A = this chain, B = another copy of it.
């Protein structure tokens, strides 16, 4: 069969509109929060009817989930860009990059972590898996730093450590909680990772100041 997608005019329009809807939805979530996302607003801004949104995404959750999927993809791409030469620096870098990304896209991240499905339908597995994979990015550097440790334990440690960083950042950036003044967050994160690595018997980065 001929897989050289000779895209039909119909498909072109469909794809263009799909991207447009997503861009608009993402913009609304990012600027005004998930709770302000309304089907009619999206449809109007995209210049189509509400029915088309449903045609394309099944239901409104479908739009949200697609945005969330792209959010975690963007996050993963950013995290993968952290240099891996030095494992300790890599861990710092992952935490700080997560902080940067979260600060830039706070509402998108909240949509990813806080959105609940209607009824009790399960969250799509692929998104869960991608989040897990992102949180597992601390695994390789930890393996290098703790070569004698059990791999399963390191996997757990990776998720625990990343979850801890996530907690510090997500609460710290929540202006309503004012848990930590934002300008201090980066420093707090650094000290936190520092102390934790020291507790694991790993040399702090201070010993190798550039």
Contacts and interface: CB of A to CB of B under 8 A. Distances in A.
Given A179-B132, A196-B195, A199-B198, A163 B159 contact: no
Interface of A (DSSP majority class)? helix
Nearest to A164: B164
A21 B176 CA distance: 27
A166 B169 CA distance: 11
Given A163-B179, A176-B122, A199-B198, A156 B184 contact: yes
A157 B132 CA distance: 27
A132 B177 contact: yes
A163 B176 CA distance: 14
A188 interface: yes
Nearest to A166: B167
Contacts of A156: 180, 184, 188
- Complex copy number for this chain: 2
A178 interface: yes
Contact of A160 (B159, B166, B192): B192
A68 interface: no
Given A160-B191, A194-B199, A197-B199, 20 more contacts: A33-B116, A33-B120, A114-B114, A128-B176, A128-B178, A135-B179, A156-B184, A157-B191, A159-B171, A160-B172, A160-B180, A160-B192, A161-B192, A163-B168, A165-B167, A166-B171, A167-B167, A195-B196, A198-B198, A199-B200
22 contacts: A33-B116, A33-B120, A35-B116, A35-B118, A123-B176, A128-B176, A132-B177, A135-B179, A156-B188, A160-B180, A160-B188, A161-B192, A163-B171, A163-B172, A164-B165, A164-B168, A164-B192, A167-B168, A194-B199, A195-B196, A196-B199, A197-B199
